[in-house]
Chains A and B, each alone.
Chain A
Amino acid sequence: QKEVEQNSGPLSVPEGAIASLNCTYSDRGSQSFFWYRQYSGKSPELIMSIYSNGDKEDGRFTAQLNKASQYVSLLIRDSQPSDSATYLCAVSPGGKLIFGQGTELSVKP
């Protein structure tokens, strides 16, 4: 079992819809969780971090964490074509980050 798993996609949603990206992790001791966005040919950029169970909202982005289920998700409301990118989930059991393989999102106009 991979330490951090994401659906590889591609996930395709129409403009204005909600995009839902999911991530599961295996280490129950993980304390910190991150979502990075990576445009094609570019480096990852941090868009959300979450440390406690529940939801964390930042503009159109909402991160959700459920430690009991070892599950973290990212919701993008009112998806825009500019949101088309690969989204990387990263988990930290302490110190270093462990990344999932990424989910490619395509938002169609």
Chain B
Amino acid sequence: DVKVTQSSRYLVKRTGEKVFLECVQDMDHENMFWYRQDPGLGLRLIYFSYDVKMKEKGDIPEGYSVSREKKERFSLILESASTNQTSMYLCASSESGLRRETQYFGPGTRLLVL
């Protein structure tokens, strides 16, 4: 079974703090994704990566950055957390090739920024 893990289930941070969210997958997937999920807005893509050290902006990259130094790990960074970044953050991974659009999700990190 594909396993995607995220470093924290719940996180509380202060405005202005630098926040790191970690995601690890154990299936040697090439592709990794970071989404945020908010009521009424569905899942919105923040950043994605098709390979190590490679990143692409999604639909809402402002205020975020990412890092992919190893194939299995994809980190989301909130450079200076703000209250409007309070959300559920979901990491996903997928294979390359024909099954690249079949994404497997981690359990999510619920972030509260005070």
Query: Residues of A contacting B42 with CB < 8 Å?
Result: 4, 88, 99-102
State which of B45, B48, B101 has its C-beta within 8 Å of the C-beta of A34: B101
Contact: A95 with B100, CB < 8 Å? yes
> Is B24 an interface residue when CB atoms closer than 8 A count as contact?
no
Which candidate, A11-19, A40-48, A55-63, A70-78, is the interface stretch facing chain B?
A: A40-48
> Is B103 an interface residue when CB atoms closer than 8 A count as contact?
yes
Contact: B107 with A46, CB < 8 Å? no
> Is B64 an interface residue when CB atoms closer than 8 A count as contact?
no
Interface residues of B (CB under 8 A from A): 33, 40-45, 48, 58, 90, 100-108
> Is A92 an interface residue when CB atoms closer than 8 A count as contact?
yes
Contact: B58 with A43, CB < 8 Å? no
Contact: B33 with A96, CB < 8 Å? yes
Cα separation A102 to B42 with both chains bound (whole Å) = 6
Query: Residues of B contacting A43 with CB < 8 Å?
Result: 90, 105-108
> Is A49 an interface residue when CB atoms closer than 8 A count as contact?
yes
Cα separation A42 to B6 with both chains bound (whole Å) = 13
Q: Give the Cβ gap from A101 to chain B, nearest Cβ, in Å.
A: 4
Residue of B nearest to A33 (CB): B101
> Is A32 an interface residue when CB atoms closer than 8 A count as contact?
yes
Cα separation A97 to B108 with both chains bound (whole Å) = 18
> Contacts A8-B40, A43-B90, A88-B43: A97 and B101 contacting too (C-beta < 8 A)?
yes
